[in-house]
Chains A and B, each alone.
Chain A
Amino acid sequence: MNKPYWYRIAYVAVAAIVILTGILVSNAYYLQLLTFIGINTLLALGLNMLMGYAGQISLGHAAFYGIGAYTTAILTVHYAISPWLALPAAILIAMAIAYIVGVPTLKLSGYYLGMGTLGFGMIIHILFREWSSITGGASGFIGIPPLEFGPVSFASGRNYFYLVWGFVLLSLIICRRIIDSRVGRGLRSIHDGEKTARAVGVDTSQLKLQVFVLSAAFSALAGFLYAHLVYFISPGTFDFITSIRIVTMVVIGGMASIWGALLGASLLTLLPEWLHSFSEFEMVVYGLILMSVMIFLPQGLTRGLMDIYERSKKSQNR
């Protein structure tokens, strides 16, 4: 059985589940929850490409998420441009900014890269808050229009769910394609050792920049979808905490695994909903869960659980 065969089955399975869920789940609350999971998956997927495959950390990805959301908000409300034109604009602007920032920042490595991206994220966040004539400042941006496509309105929960998960599937396929290509092999070589990669002729700085720009594009897409789902954005949604939350999704789910991004995003979106019952203790429990997962399954849940499975199988075989 060769690799692509299994992948294809997996995509078909996911697509089937998405369609089935859309038909079976009628409660708008669950549809909305699933839609949020989809948006978070896009964020985690983009960052996973950067962190898991290229081995570069970013603590400022909420900035691109915000750039996507604010670009579409400003274009559709202030300039009355169709959201479908604002989408490519949002993605292109995020990519351009990622390119400009990436050139000097990606020369750094380790904690220094983390700090550089963190600083960038904070500055963009402050910009959203202080540039109030354009962004609405701390009070937020109201009146973002719902999405429509000809006769199809995406104002309803189910249509939006399909839209978001359509984008998620598309992105999963794109990511898989990239990973299996020459570029993907180059990326993994950076992850394993940048100097060695350069020694064998991989243009590491160019590759890192490309994947940084790509992950910014995914985040901007997520931002676009968020803005048209909630119709309201405020700087608080795109702060340092959000950046950290995206990193957590990637790491908890499992790095260097596109299914890990899906799992991490689902878990971290659902977890607060489950922890509601702890009320005052929610933060304590959340912190403990985060720490214990990292202590006991440092590879993330996908790899960690697979290891446990393999170990149990080995002991059975013995």
Chain B
Amino acid sequence: MQEILQYIFSGITSGAIYAVIAVGFSMLYNSTELINFAHGEFVMLGALSFITLSGPFQLPLLSAFFLSVAGVACIGMLFERLAIRTVREPNPIVLIIITVGASIFLRGVGMLVWGKDAHTMPPFSKHPPLDIEGAKLLAQSIWIVAIMFLMAAGLHLFYKKTLTGKAMQACAISQKAAWLAGIPSKFMILLAFGLSTGMGAVAGVIISPITMCGYDMGTMLGLKGFCAAMLGGLGSLWGSLIGGLLLGILEALGVGLISSGLKDATAFLLLLFILYVRPSGIISSVNVERF
């Protein structure tokens, strides 16, 4: 029992990170129908810039947090303006290669700026782990889950209550119709990029104290986040959250109860299963084209 609880705790921690990454994927897909293969690299940029700002630059945590997220969001918007909007023929395969190119480019930049070694930082708070029925719950895990929920609630309010959020949703339904209704749809896409990559940076920031961050950390995280987004239903906010948490917990249980060598396989087997059985994801109203 104690073990099971511990597996679930560790699953929730990594699951929450997958969830935040998945939300970034989903948001972007929602407004642009684009899968950003460079998303994991934005997570890396967020994590490493946060470590640099709070470490060598000695900024307080909160301002380091906002600065790094805002900075990465700016890079994301720049990326949209320079490499996505300029594409002459925006068909999915071309866009995939462009984002793959961007991910290689950003990894190269990360290596030049932060070097080849990994970096890390102390947890946000020095509180010792909580003891629940013999299982240990880290203070940082609570931070991660809390930030995840805060962010989800914020996004939910943004979409439902603000004019910009509603305009963005309108773009997601139909760019042309939104444009006809007077919504600056190009700006909305730019904004969606900023928000999505900013979300990636948030994932990077909250993960930085629990793991070791290097320039090549992004690829696997991006793929797992991708799986989580698919699992929950691409394009759905709450679906992505549930997909992420589910993936994290199942991975941890897979390690604990079956075999640790198959940890990564869990994610992808789950992905195939959901694609074959219910490709629209666990929670989604959108119908997937399926022949």
Interface residues of A (CB under 8 A from B): 51, 57, 104-105, 107-112, 114-116, 118-120, 122-123, 126-127, 129-130, 194, 204-205, 240, 244, 247-248, 251-252, 255, 280-291, 294-296, 298-299
Contacts and interface: CB of A to CB of B under 8 A. Distances in A.
A111 B32 CA distance: 13
B226 A115 contact: yes
Sorted nearest first, the 10 A-B pairs with minimum C-beta distance are A287-B105, A283-B108, A290-B101, A284-B108, A287-B104, A291-B101, A298-B89, A119-B268, A119-B271, A122-B268
A102 B109 CA distance: 38
A230 B87 CA distance: 39
Contacts of B102: 287, 291
Given A122-B268, A247-B97, A295-B98, A281 B108 contact: yes
Contacts of A282: 108
In this complex, the interface size class of chain B, counting residues with CB under 8 Å from chain A, is 35 or more
Contacts of A295: 83, 86-88, 98
B91 interface: yes
B35 interface: yes
B259 to A, nearest CB: 8
A107 B96 CA distance: 21
A298 B107 contact: no
Given A110-B289, A247-B97, A283-B104, A115 B92 contact: no
B255 to A, nearest CB: 13
A120 B100 CA distance: 19
A250 B290 CA distance: 25
A294 B94 contact: yes
Given A119-B269, A123-B269, A284-B108, 10 more contacts: A57-B92, A105-B276, A109-B291, A112-B289, A119-B271, A194-B291, A247-B93, A284-B109, A286-B104, A299-B89
Interface string B167-191: 0000000000000000000000000
B272 interface: yes
B279 interface: yes
Nearest to A204: B291
B223 interface: yes
A295 B80 CA distance: 12
B93 A288 contact: no
Contacts of A284: 105, 108-109, 112
A114 B272 CA distance: 11
A199 B208 CA distance: 54
B272 A294 contact: no
Contacts of B108: 281-287
A99 to B, nearest CB: 15
A62 B233 CA distance: 27
B288 interface: yes
Contact of A288 (B92, B101, B226, B268): B101
* SS class, residues of chain A in contact with chain B: helix
Nearest to A132: B261
A116 B275 contact: yes
Contacts of B94: 251, 294, 298
A288 B105 CA distance: 6
Nearest to A129: B261
Contacts of B226: 115
B43 interface: no
B276 A104 contact: yes
A244 B101 contact: no
A211 B179 CA distance: 41
A122 B269 CA distance: 9
A110 B290 contact: no
Contact of B291 (A107, A118, A126, A289): A107
Contacts of A240: 219, 223
Contacts of B89: 298-299
B111 interface: yes
A115 to B, nearest CB: 6
A109 B226 CA distance: 17
Given A251-B97, A295-B86, A112 B264 contact: no
Contacts of B212: none
B105 A283 contact: yes
Contact of B97 (A107, A130, A205, A290): A290
30 contacts: A57-B92, A57-B96, A104-B276, A108-B279, A109-B289, A111-B234, A112-B288, A114-B35, A114-B96, A115-B226, A115-B230, A116-B272, A129-B261, A194-B291, A240-B219, A280-B111, A282-B108, A283-B104, A283-B105, A284-B109, A286-B101, A287-B107, A287-B108, A288-B101, A289-B101, A290-B98, A290-B100, A290-B101, A291-B102, A291-B105
